[in-house]
Amino acid sequence: MWNLSEDKKMKRLILISMSALCMLAACTPAQKPEIQEPTENVIHFTATLAPKGENPLSKAITTGTEGGKEVLNVAWAEGEEIAVYYQTSGDPATATATVQSVTNGVATITADLTGAINGGSVSLVYPATLHNGTGGIDESKLLNQNGNLTGANGVSTKFDAATGDGTIIVNGTEATLNGNISLTNQVCICKFRFHLDAGSTAIQDEFRNVIIFDGNGHTYTITSDKTDEMFGGTRYFRNTDDIYVALLPVSGKVVTFYYTTSGTSQGHSVQWNYLHTSGNTTLSAGKFYRNIGTINLVRDEFTAGQFTFKDLSAGSITASSGDIIWQSGGAIANSITIGDGAKVRLHGVNISGAGIFCSGNATINLAGTNTVTNTDISSPAIQAGGSGTTLTIQGSGSMIVTGGDGGAGIGSGFQQSCGDIVIKSGAITANGGDSGAGIGSGAGAGSGVNQTTCGNITISGGTVTATGGHAAAGIGCGISARCGDITITNGVNSVTATKGKAASYSIGKGDSTYSICGTITIGGTVYYDGTNFLNDGDIYLTNNIDYRP
């Protein structure tokens, strides 16, 4: 998670007075009077904007220091435009106010308002180009930026979004506002640099079209328009460039930075994704985050090509390779189906009442905190494909999964089969439903025919906690079910396996004589060869296991 510092809020106090301009029609005595159409009430709008920041003579936003720390100085500049959205006797209307002058930091703006009514509401939106036509900010206009603080297309000119609301009071030909309006910033400004982590080359350490996904469904594209001092023309961002971006606020979200580049590997054209993920991030409107520092973009072997963000809140999802699945809000009962061979990223999902189904081979990469609780009877939280397939789970995030009655946490459901399960990294907690393994097979039919199976289970990294349901192993078999070989290597941080209340083993077979398990190897030691216990495996596997290499 970022170490985010905050400076003072960027708010503009607006002191506004208004005067009316009367438009009179005249005719000479020698002329025959003509019928005049009623003239609309055009009010000349004048407002004064109070100074902002420590340096009122600066243009829009510049940087300064305070107590040895970088701060933003914010002031008005001549020519800046503010949208005025106001109520009339008909539909609301919009006008554009322009900063005419700035004296000691106090700006004077003017605009013509047509048909403004007494007691009508008014909203100011700065800058005017961000107005959404109804008195607010058009968030879509914030999504393409150039990383500059100042300049014609920089944050200070185009993206320092602020709004305020008030009421117009009309008295004859004069109009004022009922009190002052405070323009409150709707964005925060973040400063950082990009850098490719280990394995990058000099030319790769330049960036163009870096993407920021904020976890709220907004995807920002930051495209460099910097000039190359030596050769002329535009160039990429370099790891020495400070980049400033105006972002909408987020609270407790997973924020992802990524950059996609092309190259050649072993004679083939490939695309590599470089990622940085920050979990539980909060960015508040009106703040300057100067200490985000260097964003290390790590090469992600997991997904090649361009990402696609899919919102699980919008409905159940069928995922393909490159999909990043996220959601807003609390727990939802929408399911995820992962297509055969797909590599997807779970980016902070919270499923309750449904599960994840792998159609075939699948890779799940974890980012942030993910929760899957399947309440469907006989169903696992994550169905690990069918026989002959492989589910791989990895990543820097975490996952807590719980199967329905008779289903495993990760593996198969009641009287169902699944393929191999491979866990390479991540923090994973897997709970089996009634009689289902935490990781492995669900409950069987209780007969000599093993209708419930799981393939091989390999845990080579990460932190894994697995708890079996009643009469089921933490890792291995549900009651009256079978699984393949179980291998836990010294590459893990820790593996904790807890058997169900009526189960015999924490790792291995479930209860009943019909349960069958393959070879069990932990840290290079074989404790069960598929037929016989070795190295006191009959005692070791019976106990709850906390394995830490």
Segment 523-538, tens digit of pLDDT: 999 999 999 999 999 9
Residue 28 forms part of a structural domain:
no
Local confidence band at 168 (pLDDT 50, 70, 90 cut-offs): confident
Rounded distance, CA 301 to CA 308, Å? Answer: 16
- Answer whether residue 34 shows pLDDT above 80: no
- Expressed as residue numbers, the domain containing 293 is 188-300
**Amino acid 147: pLDDT:** 92
Question: Tokens for 370?
Answer: 């993910």
Distances in Å between the Cα of 472 and the Cα atoms of 75, 162, 442, 506, 514 are 67, 58, 8, 8, 12
pLDDT tens by residue, 284-315: 998 889 878 788 887 765 555 566 778 898 89
**Amino acid 306: pLDDT:** 60
Mean pLDDT for the stretch of residues 480-504: 95
> In terms of pLDDT, which residue wins out, 175 or 294?
294
Domain count for the chain, please give it: 3
Instruction: Decide if 177 contacts 87 (C-beta within 8 A).
Output: no
Question: Tokens for 479?
Answer: 């009651």
> In terms of pLDDT, which residue wins out, 54 or 238?
238
Mean pLDDT for the stretch of residues 179-197: 83
pTM: 0.70
What does the mean pLDDT of the chain come to?
Answer: 83
**Residue 372 sits in the same domain as residue 492:** yes
Dihedral (CA of 366, 368, 373, 374) sign: negative
Residue 131 forms part of a structural domain:
yes
Amino acid of residue 363: T
Q: Is 199 helix (H, G, I), strand (E, B) or coil?
A: coil
**Amino acid 433: pLDDT:** 96
| Domain stops at, among 157, 185, 213 | 185
**Residue 144 sits in the same domain as residue 278:** no
**Residue 317 sits in the same domain as residue 259:** no
**Residue 234 sits in the same domain as residue 358:** no
Residue 32 forms part of a structural domain:
no
**Amino acid 305: pLDDT:** 55
Question: Tokens for 299?
Answer: 């090469």
**Residue 366 sits in the same domain as residue 266:** no
| Domain stops at, among 275, 300, 325 | 300
Which residues, in sequence order, are bridge partners of residue 275?
258, 298
- Answer whether residue 470 shows pLDDT above 90: yes
| Domain stops at, among 126, 156, 185 | 185
Residue 476: which residues within 8 A CB-CB, separation 6 or more?
A: 437, 439, 440, 441, 457, 483, 486, 505, 507, 508, 509, 510, 517, 520
- Answer whether residue 12 shows pLDDT above 80: no
Q: Residue 512 — φ and ψ, nearest 5°?
A: 100, 155
Mean pLDDT for the stretch of residues 119-145: 95
